[in-house]
A and B are shown apart, each in its own frame.
Chain A
Amino acid sequence: MLIGDAPTIAARSPTYEELFERHAGRLHRLCGLLLADRDESREVVQDVFLKLHQARRQPGPPCDWAAWLTRVAVNACRDRRRAGWWWRFRRQSDRVEDVTLTSKEPTPEEAAISKETWHRIWAAFRGLSDRQRDVFVLRHLEGWPTDAVASTLGLTPGSVKRHLFRAIRHLRTAAVGDSA
């Protein structure tokens, strides 16, 4: 859970290097999931940390930098998606391999997942609408509460729940396979 650690952050304002080391990998993974493009996600993360650098120099910085960084990254990804047909063309035609992930070592659980299931889940995730993908990533992968997701995406909590239900139903079908 990344939201709610405000008291810890407020005790001592972290340096830029500390924030980068703590959140760069997470933001790379988050933007990679939202954009499905490694180059685009790298550019977005660079922009996010540039904004972090500027925000730290302004008066009244946010007390929860983790939530601030995530919100800025999500909004930057949404801006990229709205950038026009050229971005959509790149997103649909560029390579999608080598997304930076949290772990490279195959765990027993990972080894237990069949290649077919793995392929189905990724295909289902890419088949989600932008809104469903945003909601699922923030709610289930980032662990944000429903109200925070709604506030960040400009939705109502009820709309967030509906998008989340549709996304999970789609992904569950992929996870279970034809036997569902």
Chain B
Amino acid sequence: MSRCLSDAALISLLAGDGTADERAHMTACAACGDRHRRVGSELTTVRHVLLATDPPRTRVVARTRSWAIAAVAASLVVTLAVWGHVAIRGPDAPGPAARQRADHEASVLLTEFSLPMFSTDGRLAASVPDVGVLSLSADALDRVADCEWPDWAATAGCDETAHVARLLDLFEAPDTEL
């Protein structure tokens, strides 16, 4: 064996393992002999420190600090996760768009109910609110006072518009009219 021993071979020799060739080389090679003695001396120091001295006492502070940092980091992550969840999904209360949608749906529903109610001849009074209830003047209201069922068609001055207006009056003020 002409090549110098590797560190692994030296450590193996120090542990009592190693081959006969490695032992022979270490005996013959001054450089490997010096390395062997140096490694042995370092291991003796390590062995002595571990067997005959107390370990240092500085570990508690470092570990406690690391756990404190980990706890703070975990709480920050949870806080950010909750904040992100709220920011993305929004609060439970409906927003303006949702309120507008709900109002529209309610309006449509009420319209669907009210149209059959105000139907006069089986047809849906789709234009009832626009017929002129709000636009009727006081004279017109007096003129249609008699435009009630069933003789409105034969009454002079009564037309369908006046008749419907009269009916609306009856529905809106049942206590006074009935």
Contact = CB atoms under 8 A, between A and B. Distances in A.
Contacts of B63: 92-93
A169 B30 CA distance: 22
Contact of B54 (A93, A101, A146): A101
A95 B60 contact: yes
Contacts of B64: 93
Candidate in B11, B17, B45 with the most chain A CB atoms within 10 angstroms: B45
A125 interface: yes
Interface string A78-112: 00000000000000111111110111000101100
A38 to B, nearest CB: 10
Nearest to B45: A175
Tell me whether chain B's interface is mostly helix, strand or loop, or mixed: helix
B60 A33 contact: no
Interface of A: 29, 33, 36, 92-99, 101-103, 107, 109-110, 113, 117-119, 121-123, 125-126, 139-141, 145-146, 161, 164-165, 168-169, 171-172, 174-176
B173 interface: no
A97 B55 contact: yes
B12 interface: yes
A93 B60 contact: yes
Nearest to A121: B49
Interface string B38-71: 0100110111111111111101100110010000
A172 B59 contact: no
A119 to B, nearest CB: 5
17 contacts: A93-B67, A96-B55, A101-B54, A113-B53, A117-B49, A118-B49, A122-B50, A139-B15, A141-B47, A165-B11, A165-B12, A169-B7, A171-B42, A172-B42, A174-B46, A175-B42, A175-B46
B16 interface: yes
B8 interface: yes
Listed from nearest, the 9 A-B pairs whose CB atoms lie closest are: A97-B57, A121-B49, A175-B42, A93-B63, A171-B46, A103-B52, A122-B55, A172-B42, A165-B8
A140 B55 contact: no
Given A140-B15, A172-B42, A109 B55 contact: no
Contacts of A140: 15, 43, 47
Contact of B45 (A33, A113, A119): A113
Contacts, number: 95
A90 to B, nearest CB: 10
A92 B46 CA distance: 22
Nearest to A172: B42
A101 B7 contact: no
A96 B56 CA distance: 8
A114 to B, nearest CB: 10
Contact of A113 (B43, B49, B55, B59): B49
A146 B12 CA distance: 10
A29 B51 contact: yes
Candidate in B8, B47, B55 with the most chain A CB atoms within 10 angstroms: B55
Given A121-B46, A175-B46, A164 B11 contact: yes
Given A117-B45, A164-B11, A169-B7, A33 B57 contact: no
Contact of B15 (A36, A98, A107, A146): A146
A73 B12 CA distance: 26
A90 B16 CA distance: 37
